[in-house]
Structure 1
């Protein structure tokens, strides 16, 4: 079973993404901050990371940098409510950029693409 690390500070997003991704057959590990995400990334060795950008403490761009320095081949999907972060050079290190929505078909498609 493929393992996904979900790093997002919003409880509702965590619940929605977890339910949908577990229904797709993935194991989902949750973290609510960038710092916690880095810790779980090191402990769990996920196959893919879904990462929010705006979080308290370490933001998603800095979390992405640290993860990619340790494992450059790890697929990371940035998921943000804000489309303007696509222009941030730091976001370019991600493998996908998905705008948050209650319809998560784009996210599920991106996950399938990187884990198949």
Structure 2
């Protein structure tokens, strides 16, 4: 069965790059621009992996993770952040987090990491 990934980033270029790379790898990729849009999708369907930007408008990455945990939705998550060290500190309490990637990130490293999680 095809693994499903939800990619959440407010920057269209990053969303499209990640979507393109993982669709070429054979994954079913859905995108969201905001934390609110991400939560709506996460409540409606299930995903095998969440790739989430830490800083999002309105509902940020931290709040998305809080809501998932509060609603007992456990999905492995990779967080991307321009402030990776700060993000790591803020996100320590979440068991969902598999890795924090600093932006700009190496797409090949992200690809390898995702394969390890999903295979």
**TM-based fold match above 0.5:** yes
Unaligned runs of 5+ in 2: none
Q: Calculate the TM-score normalised by the size of structure 2.
A: 0.87
Alignment of 1:77-92 (within 5 A): 77-92=78-93
Structure 1 pair 71–102 and aligned structure 2 pair: CA distance change class (3 A): closer
Stretches of 4+ aligned residues off by more than 4 angstroms: none
Gaps of 5+ in 1: none
Distance 2:55 2:92 in 1: 12
TM-score, normalised via structure 1 length: 0.89
- Other-structure match for 1:45: 46
What RMSD over aligned residues (CA atoms) do the two structures have, in Å? 1.6
Within 1, Cα distance between the matches of 2:101 and 2:109? 7
Q: Deviations over 1:44-69 (max 9, x none)?
A: 21111000011110110111121233
Aligned in 2, Cα 1:42/1:50: closer, same or farther, shift over 3 Å?
Answer: same
Partner of 1:71: 73
Figure out how many residues of one structure are paired with residues of the other and give that number: 115
Asked if the contact 1:85–1:91 (Cα under 8 Å) also holds between the matched residues in 2, the reply is no
Q: Deviations over 1:42-94 (max 9, x none)?
A: 1121111000011110110111121233223x101101122222442335511
